[in-house]
Chains A and B, each alone.
Chain A
Amino acid sequence: MATRVLDQQRVHAPAAHGEKTGVLSWLTTVDHKRIGILYGATAFFFFLMGGVEALLLRIQLGAPNNTFLSAERYNELFTMHGTTMIFLAIMPLSAMFFNYMIPLLIGARDVAFPRLNAFSYWVFLLGGLFLNVSWLFGAAPDQGWFGYANLTSKQFSPGPNVDFWMLGLQILGIASLAAAVNFFVTVINLRAPGMNLMRMPMFVWMSFITQVLLLLAFPVITVALILLMFDRFFGTHFFVPSGGGDPILWQHLFWIFGHPEVYILILPAFGIISEVLPVFSRKPLFGYAAMVFSGVFIAFLGFGVWSHHMFSTGMGPIADTFFALTTMLIAVPTGVKIFNWIGTMWGGSLQFRTPMYFAVGFIAMFIIGGLSGVMHASPPADLQQTDTYFVVAHFHYVLFGGSIFGLTAGAYYWWPKMFGRMLDERLGKLHFWLMLIGFNLTFFPMHFVGLNGMPRRVYTYPEGLGFETLNQIETAGSFVLGLAFVVFLYNIFQSWRKPANAPADPWNGATLEWSIPSPPQEFNFPEIPVVHGRDAHWEAKRGRTTPLPEPARVSGAGIHLPNPSYWPLITAIGLTAVFTALMVLGHTGSHVWAVVAAVLLLFFGVFRWAFEPAG
């Protein structure tokens, strides 16, 4: 295996690095940049799908007693909207940036385990397909993304809907865990010489913390899902009250995963914003150390607040008090981050290019989400707000106003680096304004409609409760939001028809990725850079009277890179086959041979992977 670990030094052996093309090269790639693009394209597709699901939900809620969607279809759509946006859109969109940017930002040639990286992607893709294949069977998950027991028990959900969700999430969890191990090791081991931890770009820091959260949170949901699988397939009663089980146990397990998951979704966006703001303020990040430690503190506290999702279960005053106070405490490091971002802008020379629009939009919207979060940190007040549209408003301000604005800032910021093409500034700004207006039209009224008594997850509402007007505004807003992404798609499309002539450093960037051509060559850095401080690329440019010359594309002869491999894909197929066979077994009680065959395929993939000759 030693030869699989990337050489950080030039190896003087002849090997040319011509760009390989063709479908086969993508199926077998272990290049972190290509895997990043695969993650991005797949996740963006799922994002659009989740968006269309949301639009259908909004049409249904546009009028009282609407029959546009049946109750069953509505429940499937809201379940899949949440599940898709969390597991198939925001997480893998973040993974796109982990993949593409972390090695570039730390001055490495690839991730620590390139084939494991490919495996993560294929498992993610197949897991996403597994979840969505349920639509073809007319049995999409319909129990909510939180899958509260005992509604998920065989008795109350006899169909395969819950099974698609339960097993699909299990598959996706494996992808996330494998990726988390990979990036954790990458950040620890593959940083360029001189880049000590406190010199790492903030995106790398926040991504690193995210990997720790993934490593600690996902095992919990894995266990919960296994217990649920035993309940549903093999007749156990972990969560079934009539058999002595406890549905509350599910809630604890789910939210011990679920709350850190919120930070898994937002911390990468924090990181992106912390890269974009300094570059477009032409000023280093304000309070670097405070930013690092507040991130660590948020992640740590994130494991001590889960029961604030459960105040309405009646846990008693001591537990309520504990979880209320820890939840409020999280507002302090979060506030520190917001103030430091504004501090970064303060006194700067702000360059309002498209990434900066989205970054500032992120701060403005995230403040609102943070403040409404403090409102339901207070249990007696939360007892009115929980399970209403107020909460829907809150977490969309965090996950859309926060994560999606942040990820979009990252997309505009790193697009030229990833594809060698500039996105259009005018279209980018149109995208921003449509998104900002559409977002607020859709979600701001939800605060009021929620406090005024509209519960979540209802497929319709009667006349006479007063919900009509605000829901109409929200539905109209959601289409403006949809239009914003049509503009984005058009922007991508038009950039494709133009020559790939983006400079290496279009924004006067601060970090190492801007020191190499756009897009980078397969080996990233002809020579591994030596880092002498934070903002390494700014340091390299400081004191020069003329701009740095465009970095030349070099042959890269002699740079050792890992070989392409089929085995990650085969292993991922084997793994998904195991879960598919379990599904068949769970529903027919027979076809054990399918499980055996799938396990054999999985072992075959792993075996060949392990003994693949290093070439």
Chain B
Amino acid sequence: MLFRTVAPRSLRSASALGLLAVVLVACSPEHYPQTTLLPRGDFAQIADHLLDTTVKWALLVFVLVEGVLVYSIFRFRGKPGDPEPQQTHGNTTVEIIWTVIPALILAAIAVPTVKAIFQTSSSPGKGSLLVEVVGHQWWWEFRYPEFNLTTANELHVPVGRTVSLRMGSGDVIHSFWVPQFAAKRDVFANRETRLWFKAEVTGEYPGQCAEFCGVQHGRMAYRIRAQTPEEFSAWVAHMQSLKAQPASTARGDSGVKTASQGATVQQSNQGAAPSQGAAPSQGADYATGEKLFTAKGCVACHALYAVNAPKGMVGPNLANVGARSYIAAGTLKNTDENLSHWIRDPQGVKKGVLMPNLGLTATEAQALVAFLRAHK
């Protein structure tokens, strides 16, 4: 009421238009990088087609039924003195009709549903790129057996080639969600689950864990990078060229399986030298950082090499951490400042993570950041 008397008409219509614009913008999927409504892969398109089908029927039913309801509200509004309306108790014909029609509509949804169930449950076929996904509290491990590579929190896939995901968990149930290309599949510690998709558009997109998995479930994001086959091959070659696994810790795939058994990992990794091999000419910070990485115990949980890295280490693989867009599983943008903040106070940034506060000084952190930044 106040608004009506105070605001001039033009202002009111302008603000109404403004509100409408806000709502339209707020609802259009282009503004949501994590949207399911702009499928860019085959699996996601199957889901999206089904959604379209059900939405069309649902809208039709919605308009008809709510329409009849609203019509009744106005048409049959009575006054207190009105005579008693006709006392009908039912109508068999009408009741049969409104039982059969919804059943037919549901059949129209059920047929494409069943078809899609079998489509999405089919095997990904030969020639697909196998990627192993391991969910951890609270980050994602990705392994490419074909290339003997391990990485974390950034999944690289080529467009045009089906990616076959075989998934598990190092601890509790998580759900791996690729909204743009596929959908969700839960991951478990005691069974393998599968999902496949073929990306059709390049780009970098966000994704995140979809099953509640403990304190930091809200901070368990990852990035998916769909690349042209050439870019992807180049990335694989680059990852393989990164410093190799130190011979002293070569253990193949026999690594410990779960983060929960991290103590074992820590022991078996004691004495692991940090990276060796062709480090480019680095400054003094790099050298200090390299020493700190061992001295402060980082090495117990993190591998700095992508090739032949053991499966199920406690912390994310850091072989190319310097090149990633986010750190701490999507928590912070990967700037030097944020990285320093993160390694100095992980419990402040993401309370509950397995990474302890190491009591690093600002200088130590600076050295470690320089060291980590060089790993890309």
Contact = CB atoms under 8 A, between A and B. Distances in A.
A144 interface: yes
B172 A313 contact: no
A469 B27 CA distance: 9
Given A242-B258, A289-B90, A383 B179 contact: no
A596 B240 CA distance: 65
Nearest to A455: B210
Interface string B182-193: 011110111101
A312 B186 contact: yes
B203 interface: no
B62 A452 contact: no
B215 A71 contact: yes
A492 interface: no
A606 B179 CA distance: 56
A351 interface: yes
B263 to A, nearest CB: 13
Interface in B162-204: 171-173, 175, 177, 179, 183-186, 188-191, 193-194
A301 interface: no
A328 B106 contact: yes
Contacts of B172: 148, 150-151, 156, 247
A378 B44 CA distance: 14
B330 interface: yes
A325 B103 CA distance: 11
B85 A347 contact: yes
A375 B25 contact: no
Contacts of A283: 85-88
A312 B188 CA distance: 12
Contact of A282 (B78, B98, B116, B193): B78
B95 interface: yes
Given A242-B189, A312-B185, A380-B117, A71 B216 contact: yes
A458 B217 contact: yes
B211 interface: yes
B65 interface: yes
A465 B352 contact: no
Interface in B20-76: 22, 25-27, 29, 31-37, 44, 46-48, 50-51, 54-55, 57-58, 61-62, 65-66, 68-69, 72-73, 76
A235 interface: no
B26 A470 contact: yes
A331 interface: yes
Given A351-B78, A383-B47, A457-B212, A342 B69 contact: yes
A460 interface: yes
A194 interface: no
Given A286-B90, A328-B106, A350-B78, A367 B66 contact: yes
Contact of B210 (A321, A368, A388): A388
B18 interface: no
A72 B347 CA distance: 13
B3 interface: no
Contact of B351 (A72, A331, A364, A458): A72
Interface string A203-235: 000000000000000000000000000000000
B51 A286 contact: no
Contact of A345 (B32, B72, B82, B84): B72
A367 B66 CA distance: 8
A276 to B, nearest CB: 14
A410 to B, nearest CB: 20
Nearest to A294: B99
A247 B173 contact: yes
A367 B65 contact: yes
B173 A148 contact: yes
Contacts, number: 297
A386 B215 contact: no
A374 interface: yes
A469 B32 CA distance: 11
Interface in A334-384: 335-336, 338-340, 342-343, 345-352, 360, 363-364, 367-368, 371-372, 374-375, 377-381, 383-384
A282 B84 contact: yes
A328 B107 CA distance: 9
Nearest to A360: B73
B214 interface: yes
Please classify how large the interface on chain B is, using the bins under 10, 10 to 19, 20 to 34, 35 or more. 35 or more
B5 interface: no
A342 B217 CA distance: 44
A453 B27 CA distance: 12
A332 B106 contact: yes
Contacts of B14: none
B183 A380 contact: yes
Contacts of B109: 328, 374, 377-378
Nearest to B261: A242
A241 B190 CA distance: 6
Contacts of B62: 367-368, 371
Given A72-B215, A384-B47, A469-B25, A350 B185 contact: no
A451 B102 contact: no
B65 A464 contact: no
Interface in A533-572: none
Interface in B207-225: 208-219, 221
A589 interface: no
Interface in B260-292: 260
Nearest to A75: B215
A134 interface: no
A339 B171 CA distance: 48
A347 B78 CA distance: 10
B213 A151 contact: yes
B323 interface: no
A459 B352 CA distance: 14
The 8 closest A-B pairs by CB, nearest first: A453-B34, A349-B78, A383-B183, A241-B190, A458-B218, A452-B32, A317-B121, A466-B32
Given A282-B84, A342-B72, A465-B34, 12 more contacts: A71-B215, A248-B188, A328-B110, A347-B85, A347-B86, A348-B85, A349-B85, A375-B58, A383-B120, A454-B34, A462-B330, A464-B33
Interface of B: 22, 25-27, 29, 31-37, 44, 46-48, 50-51, 54-55, 57-58, 61-62, 65-66, 68-69, 72-73, 76-80, 82-91, 94-95, 98-99, 102-103, 106, 109-110, 113-114, 116-121, 137, 171-173, 175, 177, 179, 183-186, 188-191, 193-194, 206, 208-219, 221, 258, 260, 330-331, 351-352
29 contacts: A142-B215, A143-B212, A150-B171, A151-B213, A283-B85, A284-B87, A284-B88, A288-B90, A312-B183, A314-B185, A317-B121, A324-B113, A328-B106, A331-B102, A367-B69, A374-B54, A379-B117, A380-B117, A380-B120, A381-B47, A381-B54, A381-B113, A383-B183, A384-B48, A384-B183, A448-B26, A452-B31, A453-B34, A458-B217
Interface of A: 70-72, 74-75, 142-144, 148-151, 155-156, 241-242, 246-248, 281-290, 312-314, 316-317, 320-321, 324-325, 328-329, 331-332, 335-336, 338-340, 342-343, 345-352, 360, 363-364, 367-368, 371-372, 374-375, 377-381, 383-388, 445, 448, 451-462, 464-467, 469-470, 473
